[in-house]
Amino acid sequence: MIIDLLSNAHLYYNQGPLFRKAFEYLAQTDFSKVEKGKYELDGKNLFAIVNEYDTVAPEREQMESHKKYTDIQYIFTGAERIGHDLLQQQTPSKAYDADADYMLFAEKPSFFSILQQGMFAIFFPHDLHMPNIMIDKAAYVKKVVIKVAVS
Identity of the amino acid at 99: D
Count CB atoms within 10 A of the CB of residue 59.
7
Q: Range of 82's domain?
A: 2-149
For 71-118, the pLDDT digits (tens) are 999 999 999 999 999 999 899 999 999 999 999 999 999 999 999 999
Task: Report the CATH number at residue 18.
Answer: 2.60.120.370
Domain count, the chain: 1
Q: What stretches of 1-151 show up as alpha helix (H) in DSSP?
A: 17-28
Rounded CA separation 5/101 (Å): 26
Q: Is the pTM of this model over 0.85?
A: yes
Q: Is the pLDDT of residue 65 over 90?
A: yes
For 45, left (φ over 0), alpha (ψ -120 to 50), or beta? alpha
